[in-house]
Amino acid sequence: MSVFKIAPATAAGCTTVLKPSENTPLTALKLAELAMEAGFPPGVLNVVPGYGKRAGDALIRHELVDKITFTGSTAVGKYIQANCHEKRLKRVTLELGGKSPFIVCNDADLDSSAFMTNFFVMLNSGQVCFSPSRTFV
C-alpha cells in the first residue's frame, strides 16, 4: 500500500517520509532498504517508525511537510484533519474506515460475486486459496 503513495510522489520529484503502522514497521524498513539498493538517492524515501501519537504528531505538525496522506481508522483521520493545519495549510488525503467496498449489481451472479469479493479482499494477504475450477471473466 505504501508504494501507491510513494511512487507518484517520487515520480513528481518529491521526497517522502513514511510513518508505517507501529504493528508492521519491518515491511516499510525493507522497502526503504530496497529503494536504496535500487539507486534512490539518500533522503528521497525516509521511514520513521514509531507510535502514531508521537511520530505521527511530529509529521502532521511539521512546517516543512506539505502533504499528509493517511490510510486507516476514521478516528485517527479526524484527528489528522483537525491538527495538521496548525502551522500552515497542508494538503490532506484520507482513506478511512471500511474495508474493500464492493458493488454488486441486481443482475450479478451472487455466487460468483461472493467468491470474487473474498478473493480480491484477501489477494495480498497470503490467505487466498485459489480453486482451478473457478474462472474469472
Active site residue ranges: 95, 129
| Beta pairing partners, 95 | 71
Phi-psi region at 57: left, alpha or beta (left = phi > 0; alpha = psi -120 to 50): alpha
Q: Which residue has the cell 480480491?
A: 120
Q: Where are the beta strands (DSSP E) in 1-137?
A: 16-18, 45-47, 67-72, 91-96
- Please state, in angstroms and rounded to a whole number, the distance separating the CA atoms of residues 10 and 65: 15
Grid cell for residue 26: 519491518
